[in-house]
Every structure is written in structure tokens, then in C-alpha cells.
Amino acid sequence: MPTDIKAIIFDCDGTLVDSETPGLDVLYDEAVKLGLDISREEAHAEFRGKRMALCVESIGRRLLERTPTFDAEFTTQVRKAMAARFSEGLNPMPGAVMLVSRLHLPYCVATNGPRERAELTLGLTGLLPYFVNRIFCAYEVGFWKPSPKLFLHAAAALSVEPRYCAVIEDSLPGIRAGLAAGMQVFSLCRPETVPTDLAVRVKHISSLSEVDFLLPA
């Protein structure tokens, strides 16, 4: 790890836990049940890394019929379906357990999702014990990525200046948030999906094992 990095801030879904794809599949399936005409690939590309409220709002706008209570009811249904899907089985992302078990730097999770989802997915993958009192959620802080304020809140809690924090992310909103916070960003996104103006400012990694390899023995 570069010597000027003094703390690591992880995203959760898709970064530590292999829950991003199944979660997006659930969102897509529930939207299709309502008649939404969108492909799975389009749904994943549009909704990855975004807060649930924005995803639900986008889906609602495309429906021919939308009740006044649609947003709340659909959100509840999606959350319930996601929890059921996750409970069927989740895996940590490759290299996640090895990495966090070796970390001596301050570290935490900063997620756009609610605490109950983070605790569920981290718990199902055996990662939760490593993140006791180390989870920061946008719903509690009041700011969602791509705003940098969630990451800045996490850095302050770790007592580390933003420029010395490494952010590990798998979504464009997360990458934008990390860069806006003045942090060093490691991207798990496929390189071809990252716009050039962002790509030149991040370190691309294929898995968390690459970060683990940079740590002192």
C-alpha cells in the first residue's frame, strides 16, 4: 500500500460482498412484473450504485400507471425481495476476507444502502465481525454518493485527513464521490465502463487481492 495511505474506506455491495448483481436482478424483476419495458443490461447500467429512492423514482416515471403510494410500496416490496434473495446465499468478493483480516490501518464501510442491508449482507458473508462500529450509511448521515459528504464523514470518524484515505469502489457514483472528497480511489469497475475523465484519476484493480498484495507482509 502506498505509504501516504493511512485509512481505507470500502463500499459494501459489489466491493466487499457479491450482492450488487443479485440485488439489481431483484430490482429489475420486480419492475418487469409491473410492466416496465427495459432490458436487464439497461437496468444494471442505470441503477448500479444509485440510492434506492432514485431508482424507484426512475421506474415509476416509466410506468403507465402509478399510484400516489407507489414509491413507498414498491420500495418495501423490493427490500423484502432482496432480503429473501440474499438469505438464499451470498459470497464475499474475492480477496475480501483475507484483506480485512490483515488490515492494520483504520478502515470502515461507507454505503449508500441502509444499515439493515449492510449488516445483513456482511453478516451472511462472515464479514460483519470485522466491521463492528465501522459502518457508515447514507441514510443516517443524510448524504448519498456521488456527494462526497458520506466519505468525508467516514474520514472524520476515522480521524484521518481525506487525502490520506483510499476509497475502494465498484460504481461510478462511488468513484465520483471519492474523487470529490479528495481521496485516492481504487476502482473495481470494468475499465471500459469508466469515463476517460474519471479513469485517468483512479487506480484500476481487478479484485481486492490486488490491494491485499500491496500490504506489508
pLDDT in tens, the chain (217 residues): 566 899 999 999 999 999 989 999 999 999 999 998 999 999 999 999 889 999 999 999 998 788 899 999 999 999 999 999 999 999 999 999 999 999 999 999 999 999 999 999 999 999 999 999 999 999 999 999 999 999 999 999 999 999 999 999 999 999 999 999 999 999 999 999 999 999 999 999 999 999 877 765 5
Q: Is the dihedral of CA 38, 43, 51, 22 positive or negative?
A: positive
The Cα 43–Cα 28 span in angstroms is 6
* Number of other residues whose CB lies within 10 A of the CB of residue 64: 8
Reply yes or no: is the peptide bond before residue 2 cis, omega within 30 of 0: no
> What's the chain's Rg over C-alpha atoms?
17
Q: pTM for the complete prediction?
A: 0.89
The Cα 75–Cα 51 span in angstroms is 11
